[in-house]
Structure 1
Amino acid sequence: MTANSYSSSHLRRQPKQQRGKDRVDKILNAAAEVFDQVGYKTATTHQIAAKAGTAVGSLYQFFPNKAAIFNAMELRHIERVKTFWSTLNTPEVVQLPLRQMMHQLITAAVELFEHPVSRIIFIQFYTSQDMFQSIDESMTQEAINFLANILQQRNPSLPEDQCNLLAEVCVHSSNAVTLSALRTNDVGHRQRLTEQIENLLTSYLEPYVGDPLSQNVMKVMICPHCQSDRLSKNGKRRNQQCYVCKDCRKQFVESVMLKR
């Protein structure tokens, strides 16, 4: 299934031309915004069509009802998550120092949930699971398996059951914080919460899949935002050294700094 393909059980007709595919995309994105604003139960197909800038008759050409729209959103989210997993489960990512690897994983996850469809599907899954037809708890287990596989690659001496346990704790804890982050309208607070996911998982996994001692020698400190090594000290905050990046000009404390 490609990013623009949807199950025939949810679409009245399959869009064959790019124009039709784009229209379906606009409807799904609009539906996510409407569901977010007024809730799924209150939302109507007329509201969704208006948000998408199309006639409701055009919407009905593709979707018989509101439930079919939501189910198509599920399929889109599944496809995006599968791409997320396949893109990140590579030797280039897995062999990075732990902090950098977690930074890439969390950054990619943030980008995933910035999409309106994935955001609303994630939130609804934890509030109204009875709405779902294509997503269930097995998807959470797939996420656990994905991370367990990465942990096993980083430390082949770890028993399989321990890798699974570590991955389960990471997935459930990060999902809980992610849910809180997605629900807040405070963009700054949302960013701070997602940054803490990286710190939390890195600290938790360090004893099991951290970098070998030899990798910790002579590491160059780099900016967590742009990965530049052109840094300057910028005072202290709560007994932590602060830095400013000479390239992107962003400030950060030592605890969130990446190393290479």
Structure 2
Amino acid sequence: MPSQTSSKKNVSIHTPRLERGKQRVAELMAAAARVFAEQGYDAATMTEVAAQAQASIGSLYQYFPTKALLAQALHGAQLEVLRGRLESLAQQAPDLSPRQIAERILEELSLFLEENPAFIALAERRDIDKKAKAATRSGLLSLLTGLLAQAQPPLPAERHALTAVMLLELMKIAVSLKARESAEIAEGVVQTFKSMLGQHLDSL
């Protein structure tokens, strides 16, 4: 995990070099994931995270001086997991239609959110660095565009970027809905949007 600097304070994450320290950081981040998922970002406290990890509060602050930096590190790690899931579709993409690729992307997102419920709270937090957010969006759009470009039958080239944006926005809607609505309503809305997008892609 690379060292990161807070945009608000001149503090940074301490990256351990020894295996024992790396294990401790993994335990702290796993505990943070549970607390953020259960309490939400705003309500979660560093004290609760330390307690969940069975660590001293001093140990937590040694590696993550602020809650914002802890959330930033965890969110970044989970984004890497999501990217990995999407990248794994690259080998399948040449055998899939545009609609099938879109459906697989949204299925992977759904599975990812089930396995990483803290991602919803972290994605909704208000203190996300704008430059980092823009870089994440750009990277995901590039990945989605690349997947769609491999579809068979192919989409018109000028539709690759547009469809990637539609998919990314639908992913954001899915995350937002899961944070605000019941599971039944969130799933129903996402499935409706997915069906509409599928029909649109079939028409192309």
TM-score under structure 2 length normalisation: 0.77
What CA distance in whole angstroms lies between the structure 1 residues aligned with 2:109 and 2:155?
Answer: 28
Q: Rate the CA distance shift 1:203–1:181 in 2: closer, same or farther, 3 A.
A: farther
Structure 1, residues 221-241: CA drift from partner, whole Å, max 9, x if none? xxxxxxxxxxxxxxxxxxxxx
Structure 1, residues 168-220: CA drift from partner, whole Å, max 9, x if none? 22322342233113433x33334434433432321221122xxxxxxxxxxxx
What CA distance in whole angstroms lies between the structure 1 residues aligned with 2:21 and 2:124?
Answer: 28
Q: Which residue of 1 aligns with 2:44?
A: 43
- Give the conservation status (yes or no) of the 8 Å contact 1:113–1:119: yes
Q: Rate the CA distance shift 1:84–1:63 in 2: closer, same or farther, 3 A.
A: same
Aligned residues: 196
- Give the conservation status (yes or no) of the 8 Å contact 1:28–1:69: yes
- Give the conservation status (yes or no) of the 8 Å contact 1:77–1:118: yes
- Give the conservation status (yes or no) of the 8 Å contact 1:27–1:52: yes
TM-score under structure 1 length normalisation: 0.62
Residue 169 (1) aligns with residue 182 (2):
no
- Give the conservation status (yes or no) of the 8 Å contact 1:84–1:108: yes
User: Structure 1 counterpart of 2:157, which letter?
Assistant: P
Q: Rate the CA distance shift 1:173–1:27 in 2: closer, same or farther, 3 A.
A: same
Q: Which residue of 1 aligns with 2:192?
A: 196
Q: Where in structure 1 are there 5+ consecutive unaligned residues?
A: 209-260
Q: Which residue of 2 aligns with 1:104?
A: 104
- Counterparts of 1:127-206 in structure 2, within 5 Å, are 128=126, 130-132=127-129, 135-154=132-151, 155-156=153-154, 158-160=156-158, 162-184=159-181, 186-206=182-202
Structure 1, residues 90-131: CA drift from partner, whole Å, max 9, x if none? 2x234224554333222211122221342322222xxx1x33
Residue 106 of structure 1: SS of its match in structure 2? helix
Q: Which residue of 2 aligns with 1:224?
A: none
**Which structure: greater helix fraction?**
2
What CA distance in whole angstroms lies between the structure 2 residues aligned with 1:72 and 1:202?
Answer: 35
What CA distance in whole angstroms lies between the structure 2 residues aligned with 1:59 and 1:197?
Answer: 42
* Greater RCO (CA < 8 Å, at least 6 residues apart): 2
Residue 54 of structure 1: SS of its match in structure 2? coil
- Counterparts of 1:199-238 in structure 2, within 5 Å, are 199-208=195-204
Q: Which residue of 2 aligns with 1:11?
A: 13
How far off its partner does 1:133 sit?
A: 6.9
Question: Cα RMSD between the aligned structures?
Answer: 2.9
How far off its partner does 1:15 sit?
A: 5.2
Q: Rate the CA distance shift 1:15–1:110 in 2: closer, same or farther, 3 A.
A: farther
**Which structure: greater strand fraction?**
1
- Counterparts of 1:83-98 in structure 2, within 5 Å, are 83-90=84-91, 92-98=92-98
Q: Where in structure 2 are there 5+ consecutive unaligned residues?
A: 6-11
Residue 132 of structure 2: SS of its match in structure 1? coil
- Give the conservation status (yes or no) of the 8 Å contact 1:147–1:167: yes
